[in-house]
Amino acid sequence: MHITSFPGFDTITPTFIKCAYKRVPKHHGRGSENVNALAPHIAALISLLIKKAHIPRSWKEAKPTAICFSITSLENYGMIAVSGTLYRLYGNLLRSIVQDWRGQHV
């Protein structure tokens, strides 16, 4: 998912997820490193949802958003439905899994 994507109804931006780092000591050696603090929690949530074959009802909602194709007139505006960031992340992950599976079994 591109980090400049619109947040959905959940108001979580892809930039927030990508940049949620904390400094932790390195496992081997001296110094510290940046580790994403949200990634393990999001991975656990998505893993659970895949195992249960479930999508939360609230994730199926979308936020209508106006986009401008050209600023010369109002007719150049269109509406798109932006779903929640976690739902788009979940969908992108499932698409990637299916594509990898197809590549191995076709």
Burial environment of residue 42 by CB neighbours within 10 A (0 to 12, 13 to 18, 19 or more): middle
Q: Residue ranges per domain, the chain?
A: 14-105
What is the per-residue pLDDT for 47? 93
Residue 62 confidence (pLDDT): 86
10, 84 Cβ separation under 8 angstroms: yes
pLDDT digits (tens, 9 = 90+) for 44-101: 999 999 999 999 998 888 888 888 877 777 677 888 888 999 999 999 998 998 889 8
Task: Mark out the alpha helices in 2-84 (DSSP H runs).
Answer: 14-18, 39-52
- The per-residue pLDDT for 106 is 72
